[in-house]
Amino acid sequence: MVRLPELVSTTKNYTLSVSSDELIAIMRKDTDAVLSGQDRIPESYPLYKQIENLDSVTKVDYDGHYGPYIFFSVEETRGTDLVTSKKVAELIDEYLRDFNAG
């Protein structure tokens, strides 16, 4: 008798909403990092690169075409996707800290 393999992981897609002003601030900060060459220093990585560096995160996108949203996918392995998505939200909050303080 053939046994089917156990499904141990699957990919979930997430969409996080930010304000239009916050998305513009993220994109400006990313652009400034690239233009100044700071995008090669881990502490100054653009937001998309910081998110992609999290374990199991792929397909990060936020160009504003579909509105002020940040899209990403997380490879779920036994419930870890929720923890990872919270880490993404924390990264975004940290990235916007200076913008929201002003």
DSSP letter string over 4-34?
Answer: PPP--EEEEEEEEE--HHHHHHHHHHHHHHH
- Does residue 29 surpass a pLDDT of 80? yes
Both tokens of 94, joined, read 């940290």
Ordered by where they begin, the domains of the chain are 10-101 (3.30.1370)
N residues, the chain: 102
pTM of the model as a whole: 0.78
pLDDT of residue 28: 94
**Residue type present at position 90:** E
Give percent of the chain above pLDDT 70: 85
Residues 49-88: pLDDT tens digits? 999 999 889 999 999 899 999 999 988 776 666 778 888 9
CB 50 within 8 A of CB 91: yes
pLDDT of residue 73: 93
Residue with tokens 């992609």: 52
Distances (CA, A) of 36 to 30, 53, 69: 10, 21, 26
